[in-house]
């Protein structure tokens, strides 16, 4: 039996994942061996990313696979859905380099658009919220003590709560909810911008945060570094606040490097912020009391 177990381990180590799963289905002893091999292989292959505590069911490799599989995260087609934060289900180490790619379609959005961004993994979330991946508020505009930041690829607006520890430079005392504008042209007033799919990207690299906007034909532009000194661990998320209309936000992929921009010289012109961070309440975007004024 010892020889059989050693042989099973040796065989399992040389199989790809589909073959490994088939091998594990042939018997209980094989199943335990293949589960261990699959879990170890997943941890080695995805260092710096792991499933959210309480997320999913089954062994480690399946929970992480479910968290990172391409899927729709937010869908709304009528009425005014409640403000929410939809967590991806995975935790990322900000010491590594990760690029998250999303695709978003919005129509008849009269006062807001969905945003994508990050939440500090230390945020105070209930076991039910961790398990479901749903938080009943926009954490980037009504968060707690930990950082949450989001951006809209259409308007170029960036929202952040509890920015004190991750601001790009010393700005003195900041309000709980802040807003700034990326140095991009807004697409909100474009005739067909909201009806056509648009891609949004979030880049975490060396504890720094950058945003990307892309077209469906693969042309990207970046914001440059917007925040530094990120928390050690973050949770990617989709944010909804005061939204009315049709919205479809899908997670497409997690990459270990950012995409190429169309023109590096042109891209540099759009780096940074148009204005300093200011209070959401003063700008009329605060969701703590009402929608955009």
Domain boundaries along the sequence of the chain: 2-65, 71-283
Query: Encoding tokens for residue 133?
Result: 């991946």
Write phi, then psi, for 254 (nearest 5 degrees).
Answer: -115, 120
Query: Encoding tokens for residue 2?
Result: 């010892």
Predicted structure pTM score: 0.85
Per DSSP, the three-state class of 195 is coil
- pLDDT at 277 (0 to 100): 85
The closest alpha carbon to 159, from 243, 293, 278, belongs to 278
CA atoms within 13 A on the CB side of 231: 20
CA 39, distance to chain mean position in Å, is 23
pLDDT higher than 50, residue 291: no
Q: How many residues does the chain have?
A: 293
Whole-angstrom distance, CA of residue 44 vs CA of residue 64: 13
Q: What is the pLDDT of residues 78-136, one digit of tens each?
A: 767 789 999 999 999 999 999 999 999 988 877 778 999 999 999 999 999 999 999 99
Write phi, then psi, for 128 (nearest 5 degrees).
Answer: -65, -40
CA 115, distance to chain mean position in Å, is 10
Which CATH architecture group holds 71-283?
Answer: Sandwich (2.60)
Q: What is the pLDDT of residues 20-37, one digit of tens each?
A: 666 566 666 666 777 888
The per-residue pLDDT of the chain, averaged, comes to 83
The closest alpha carbon to 205, from 226, 178, 221, belongs to 226
Share of the chain above pLDDT 90, in %: 51
Q: What is the pLDDT of residues 221-275, one digit of tens each?
A: 999 999 999 999 999 999 998 888 888 999 999 999 999 998 888 899 999 999 8
Whole-angstrom distance, CA of residue 282 vs CA of residue 178: 9
Which stretch of 40-44, 74-78, 185-189, 263-267 has the lowest confidence by average pLDDT? 185-189
């Amino acid at each position: 039996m010892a020889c059989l177990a050693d042989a099973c381990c040796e065989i399992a180590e040389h199989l790809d994942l589909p073959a490994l799963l088939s091998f594990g289905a042939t018997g209980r002893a094989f199943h335990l061996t293949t589960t261990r091999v699959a879990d170890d292989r997943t941890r080695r292959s995805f260092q710096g990313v792991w499933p959210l505590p309480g997320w999913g069911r089954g062994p480690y490799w399946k929970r992480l696979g479910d968290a990172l599989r391409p899927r729709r995260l937010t869908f709304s087609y009528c009425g005014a859905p409640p403000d929410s934060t939809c967590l991806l289900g995975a935790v990322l180490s900000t010491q590594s380099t990760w690029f998250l790619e999303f695709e978003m379609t919005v129509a008849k959005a009269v006062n807001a658009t969905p945003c994508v961004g990050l939440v500090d993994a230390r945020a105070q979330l209930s076991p039910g919220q961790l398990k479901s991946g749903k938080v009943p508020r926009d954490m980037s505009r009504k968060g707690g003590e930990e950082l949450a930041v989001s951006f809209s690829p259409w308007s170029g607006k960036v929202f952040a709560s509890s920015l004190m520890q991750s601001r790009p430079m010393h700005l003195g005392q900041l309000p709980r909810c802040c807003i700034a504008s990326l140095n991009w042209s807004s697409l909100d007033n474009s005739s067909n911008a909201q009806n056509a799919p648009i891609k949004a990207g979030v880049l975490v690299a060396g504890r720094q945060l950058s945003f990307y906007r892309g077209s469906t034909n693969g042309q990207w532009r970046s914001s440059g570094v917007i925040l530094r000194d990120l928390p050690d661990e973050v949770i990617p998320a989709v944010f909804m606040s005061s939204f009315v209309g049709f919205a479809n936000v899908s997670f497409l992929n997690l990459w270990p490097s950012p995409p190429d921009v169309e023109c590096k010289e042109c891209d540099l012109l759009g780096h940074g912020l148009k204005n300093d961070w200011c209070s959401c309440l003063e700008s009329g975007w605060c969701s703590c009391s009402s929608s955009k004024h």
